[in-house]
Amino acid sequence: MSKAKQNKLEDVSAAILANHVCPELAAQAMNLVMGDGNADADIVFIGEAPGKNEDEQGLPFVGASGKFLNDMLASAGLERSDVYITNIVKYRPPNNRDPSPQEKQAFWPYLAEQLEIIQPKVIVTLGRHSMEFFLPSARISEQHGQAVRVTIQHPDGKGREWLVVPLYHPAAALYNGSLRQTLIDDSMQVVSALNKY
């Protein structure tokens, strides 16, 4: 792994702490959950916010959803160490409530910085909260598994072009078994999007 990129990602964590981002969430959380995987990855997965297990371990997607995310990766011939996994919001919201628009906005500069450092070829959004950032008018039921090239305004005011593949959240498959196969099939689309890049 590129040491330079890893060091820069560590600077982003330090900036979140130094800037006291979302102090109410921070006060109730055990850990800042920045990300896991490979800073040189071509694919970045972006979820919503850490849950209980993630908060305890300081790593994203290590609970039940994470187990299924690992299965999705395996079906696409990938391991966690091949990709980078993060969330929009980096602290666990109390009782796993949805992150608020203000919390998502507060963390956006840091997520944008993670993307600037990693420079992924493909961004995979997991669930509605993450998709809304990149494809605000898309409907997940119509767009899932399909790659779209979008220009997103970053906090410096400049547009960046990203190739985005929106997926349902892995937790959706835990509640709705019929989405399991959809998520597996869509994970393979992620690799196709990368191969066509």
Query: Interface with ligand URA by CB under 6 A: which residues?
Result: 47-51, 54, 60-61, 65, 87
* Rounded CA separation 23/15 (Å): 13
CB of 156 to ligand URA, least distance (A): 26
CB of 77 to ligand URA, least distance (A): 22
In the bound state with ligand URA, the residue whose beta carbon lies nearer, of 49 and 111, is: 49
* Rounded CA separation 45/64 (Å): 16
CB of 194 to ligand URA, least distance (A): 22
In the bound state with ligand URA, the residue whose beta carbon lies nearer, of 184 and 192, is: 184
Q: Which residue is nearest to ligand URA (CB)?
A: 47
Quote the distance between the C-alpha of residue 6 and its chain's center. 17
In the bound state with ligand URA, the residue whose beta carbon lies nearer, of 134 and 192, is: 134
In the bound state with ligand URA, the residue whose beta carbon lies nearer, of 34 and 117, is: 34
Residues belonging to the chain: 197
In the bound state with ligand URA, the residue whose beta carbon lies nearer, of 95 and 195, is: 95
CB of 169 to ligand URA, least distance (A): 6
CB of 88 to ligand URA, least distance (A): 8
Burial of 14 (0-12, 13-18, 19+ CB in 10 A): exposed
* Degrees to nearest 5, angle at CA 17 with 14 and 20: 145
What is the residue-wise DSSP string for 23-42? HHHHHH-S-----EE-TT-S
